[in-house]
């Protein structure tokens, strides 16, 4: 990995560009539904790593993508992720009143508007993703957009993120075994990250084998990322995380830490991250930023 200072400076530049891309597609805060748009904007502009759109953009670059066709999908992916955070914080789910160091959306705008703003972001994400058709040049790129939409829908819905969220809720208050916990993590967290790795590759014209490899890398990274989240929920600081600590314990959730302990959880996260990096490096393209990002995220504190 290159000098950490240089890497973090480059990462900051890339996050700023990603942020500008997202802001370009935010809804206008006007008209009869102005308050709903404000709630959506409040949640979207709360900061964060912008990890999923950043990965999508870097995956696109990894396979030689140079145009703007990935930008609507980058914004859409962050909207879907933010929708999940809004709903996670609701009293019926995790009942958290803080997100990214400030009041959660439902605390500021009320529970009803919190529910509606999450719903609206999920739907608006697909409206935004459809703008990629406007940027497509030729039937080849149109076909790539169609496949990307199919991936986005599959990784988000019943058999992806939302399905995983439902199993997580269903298991709250009772112990989940190792197999069930991995199923939750694969769907609730890893699925959307798989989409980021895959869609960037698809839009850049990667082969079917390369897209499958990116899905595997996303799966391993997604599991490692969630395990690291479990560790931080126990060992991190509330100031750094921007949300209450021990949220999993409060909600009676089984995690990698409760099953394996902190040291084994760390070992698992390192192993999965290393495997993800090997898959990415095996692609043999790009500037190496994406593998470095995977390594850097393993040591994150928020």
Q: pTM of the full predicted structure?
A: 0.91
Least confident of 100-114, 189-203, 286-300: 286-300
13-22, 84-93, 134-143, 280-289: segment of lowest average pLDDT: 280-289
**What is the enclosing helix (H) or strand (E) of 106?**
helix 105-109
Please write the tens of the pLDDT for every residue from 183-236: 999 999 999 999 999 999 999 999 999 999 999 999 999 999 999 989 998 886
User: What is the percent of the chain where pLDDT is above 70?
Assistant: 91
Domain with 18 in it: 4-298
pLDDT at 1: 52
In this prediction, residue 76 carries a pLDDT of 98
CA distance linking residue 134 with residue 128, whole number of Å: 11
Closest CA to 203 of 61, 23, 38, 53: 61
Which residue pairs from 171-175 have beta carbons closer than 8 angstroms and sit at least 24 positions apart in sequence? 171/253, 171/254, 172/251, 172/252, 172/253, 173/251, 173/252, 174/252, 175/254
Nearest to 283 by CA among 186, 212, 219, 199: 212
The total number of structural domains in the chain stands at 1
What is residue 245's predicted lDDT score, i.e. its pLDDT?
52
Query: What pLDDT score does 135 carry?
Result: 96
Judged by DSSP in three states, 253 sits in coil
Check pLDDT > 80 for residue 243: no
* CA proximity to 118, closest of 44, 208, 217, 19: 44
Q: Would you give the distance in Å from CA 62 to the centre of its chain?
A: 19
Residues 9 and 12: their CA atoms lie apart, in Å, by 5
Cα(42)–Cα(89) distance, rounded to whole angstroms? 14
Residue 48, pLDDT score = 83
Structure tokens at 209: 């084998």
CATH of the domain at 98: 1.10.600.10
pLDDT band for 32, please (50, 70, 90 cuts).
Answer: very high
Pairing state between β 98-99 and 102-103: antiparallel
Query: For residues 282 and 213, is the Cβ–Cβ distance under 8 A?
Result: yes
**HSE on the CB side for 221, CA within 13 Å?**
30
């Amino acid at each position: 990995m290159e000098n950490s200072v240089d890497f973090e400076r480059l990462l900051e530049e890339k996050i700023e560009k990603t942020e500008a891309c997202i802001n370009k597609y935010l809804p206008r805060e006007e008209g009869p539904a102005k308050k709903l748009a404000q709630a959506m904007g409040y949640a979207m502009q709360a900061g964060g790593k912008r990890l999923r759109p950043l990965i999508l953009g870097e995956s696109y670059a990894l396979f030689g993508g140079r145009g703007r066709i990935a930008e609507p999908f980058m914004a859409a992916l962050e909207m879907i992720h933010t929708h999940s955070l809004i709903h996670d914080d609701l009293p019926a789910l995790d009942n958290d009143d803080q997100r990214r160091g400030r009041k959660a959306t439902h605390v500021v705008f009320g529970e009803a508007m919190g529910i509606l703003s999450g719903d609206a972001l999920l739907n608006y994400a697909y409206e935004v993703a459809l703008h990629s058709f406007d940027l497509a040049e030729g039937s080849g790129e149109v076909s790539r957009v169609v496949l990307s939409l199919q991936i986005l829908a599959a990784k988000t819905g019943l058999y992806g993120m939302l399905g995983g969220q439902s199993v997580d809720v269903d298991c709250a208050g009772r112990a989940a075994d190792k197999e069930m916990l991995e199923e939750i993590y694969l769907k609730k967290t890893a699925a959307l990250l798989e989409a980021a790795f895959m869609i960037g590759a698809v839009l850049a014209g990667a082969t079917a084998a390369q897209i499958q490899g990116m899905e595997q890398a996303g799966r391993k990274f997604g599991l490692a990322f969630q395990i690291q989240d479990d560790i931080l929920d126990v060992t991190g600081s509330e100031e750094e995380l921007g949300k209450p600590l021990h949220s999993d314990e409060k909600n009676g959730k089984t995690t990698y830490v409760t099953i394996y302990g902190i040291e084994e959880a760390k070992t698992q996260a390192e192993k999965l991250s290393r495997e993800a990096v090997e898959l990415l490096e095996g692609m043999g393209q790009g500037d190496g930023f994406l593998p470095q990002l995977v390594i850097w995220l393993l040591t994150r504190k928020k």
